[in-house]
Amino acid sequence: MCGVLGIYDNEEVIARIYDAMLTIQHRGQDSAGILTYDGKYHIKKGNGLVQDIFDQRNIYRLRGHVGIGHTRYPTVGEGSVEDAQPFWVNYPFGIAAAHNGNVTNFLELKKDLFEKSHKIINSNCDVEVILNIFAEYLERFTNKEFSPEIVFNAVKYVYKRVKGSYSVVIHIANKGMLGFRDPYGLRPLLFGSKEEMVNSFAFASESVALDVMGFKNYEDVGPGSAVFIDKNRQVHRKKIINKPFRPCIFEYIYFARPDSFLNGINVDKARVELGKSLAKKIRRRNLDIDIVVPVPDSSRTAAIQIARDLKLKYREGLVKNRYIGRTFIMPGDIERKKSIRHKLNPIRHVFAGKKVLLVDDSIVRGNTSRSIIQMVRDAGAEKIYFASYSAPLANPCVYGIDMQTSGEFIARDSTPDQIAAKIGADVVIYQELDEMEKDVRKQNKHIHSFCKACFTGIYPTGDVSSEILRTIEKERDDYKNKITETDEINE
């Protein structure tokens, strides 16, 4: 998962793009980059958090009325700064790009580009491949009059060749800026425009970034659709390919900020609904509960709703150190295990002698839950019920959210009772899959179905063979082993 931004303005953009980068920091903390254009491309990328990468010196250098920003979360790749986005090519025209998603035929395309088009792909970053394929199409039109149709056909060419999920922002020097979503609209992308300043436009992964940049009007870029702003600042929209819309349901459960709107659905409201339906399920179990405690941060909204519906006391009992990144973003399990402990600490008196309902968004490997439950028991809790407001996760995501391998999912071959035993809870309660989809869909009935492949194993693009899964899992395992080895050497 990553965060992507684009801004096409008539004044310097760096201040706003920097602020907006901070609002999409939660989408990736591995590396970040900003590219601007003022007749030439200026770029600064680095590993780590936005605040650590950009300083006055490089901010001053990032001049221009056009900018692209990116926060990165590694799925495949070494996590090196060479893989950080945005990327750009000088021919034709000068084209720069950043994206959010995961290209499932990346290695095949990289090979094709090398063998057939004689282009070297210098990174393990998907967007370098998308950018080169897009550029390859435009190369045929350098002597013809430039038009939005050419741009849309280049996107069509990308759709034909590139598989997986991708929400892309592209700048074509002196021609315009473009945003497009993959055919199924798996990853989010919004387009914002300013009424009072007719000439200002932006793209972002989450509406919160458009909010802070001052864009009050925004719309979702449709699945298989593109929005192109030409050099005269005319906006052109086109639906290029017609596939079923399958936005990622996990954005609402975990990834996106509660203040964001994605696909016409507010994330906070979706979590309220998820809390309501889970409360009904918990009520049917007739458990003796004293307090409801969220596992911070994503589960707060749902936990408050559950407490309200069950007429129980809501308490904050786990204090999160806000200066530590999300543990799952760190590669390698050793790091994960180490970091959960110093990330959360219990408020002992909240738990002492209590029967506690802990609420979390999901259970993946079970390591986080097990550590938390142990922590809460050590703090004196009498009983611990653990509720997940998403259904059991059991399949790897090939579309850009941390690539667990199948064997890692605790719910893969276990029932909730077996999971309870494994993580040390008295009871484990999961959200029902159908309820979960109904809850999120409530705000936008035009979405017939979401991608929920990590729950069901049914991948909406229809092209995820077991061979692709194996290849991706192997890459991920190799990468993890590599990290783990270095870890041990460094210890």
Per rule CB under 6 A, is residue 328 in the interface with ligand 5GP?
Answer: yes
Task: Kindly state the smallest distance separating residue 248's Cβ from ligand SF4, in Å.
Answer: 3
CA distance 402 to 244: 24
State phi, psi for 118 to the nearest 5 degrees. Answer: 55, 45
Could you count the other beta carbons within 10 Å of the beta carbon of residue 301? Answer: 23
Q: Which residues contact 379 (CB under 8 A, 6 or more apart)?
A: 317, 346, 347, 348, 350, 351, 352
Q: Which of residues 382-441 bind ligand 5GP (CB under 6 A)?
A: 401-402
Number of residues that bind ligand 5GP (CB under 6 A): 16
Q: Which helix (H) or strand (E) holds 20?
A: helix 14-23
Among this protein's residues, is 454 annotated catalytic? no
> Which does residue 186 touch among ligand 5GP, Mg ion, ligand SF4, none (CB within 5 to 8 A, set by kind)?
ligand SF4
Q: How far apart are CA 460 and CA 40, in angstroms?
A: 40
Q: Could you say whether residue 425 binds ligand SF4 (CB under 6 A)?
A: no
Binding mask 227-256 for ligand 5GP (x = CB under 6 A): ---------------------------x--
Q: Is residue 368 at the binding interface for ligand 5GP, with CB under 6 A as the rule?
A: yes
Which ranges constitute the DSSP H helices of 259-327? 267-284, 300-310
Of 31-39, 176-184, 245-253, 260-268, the segment contacting ligand SF4 by CB under 6 A is 245-253
When asked if residue 303 is in the footprint of ligand 5GP (CB under 6 A), the reply is: no
Smallest distance, ligand 5GP to C-beta of residue 404, A = 6
Distances 54 to 82, 85, 171, 174, 410 between C-alpha atoms, Å: 17, 14, 22, 26, 39
Question: If binding is defined by CB under 6 A, does position 263 make contact with ligand 5GP?
Answer: no
Pick one of 134, 201, 250, 479: the residue that binds ligand SF4 (CB under 6 A): 250
Stretch touching ligand 5GP by CB under 6 A, among 209-217, 351-359, 365-373, 457-465:
365-373
* Residues whose CB falls within 8 Å of the CB of residue 229, separated by 6 or more in sequence, listed in order: 8, 176, 177, 178, 201, 235, 236
In this structure, is the dihedral angle defined by the CA atoms of residues 154, 159, 160 and 165, taken in order, positive or negative? positive
Instruction: Give yes or no for a contact between 413 and 466, defined as CB atoms under 8 angstroms apart.
Output: no
| Residue 447 interacts with ligand SF4 (CB under 6 A): yes or no | no
C-alpha to C-alpha distance for 268 and 260, rounded to whole angstroms: 8
| Residue 399 touches which of Mg ion, ligand 5GP, ligand SF4, none (Cβ within 5-8 Å per kind) | ligand SF4
As measured in angstroms, the least distance from the Cβ of 399 to ligand SF4 is 4
Catalytic residues: 2
Which residues bind to ligand 5GP, rule: CB under 6 A? 254, 295, 298, 328, 360-369, 401-402
Which residues bind to ligand SF4, rule: CB under 6 A? 186, 248-250, 397, 399, 401, 451-454
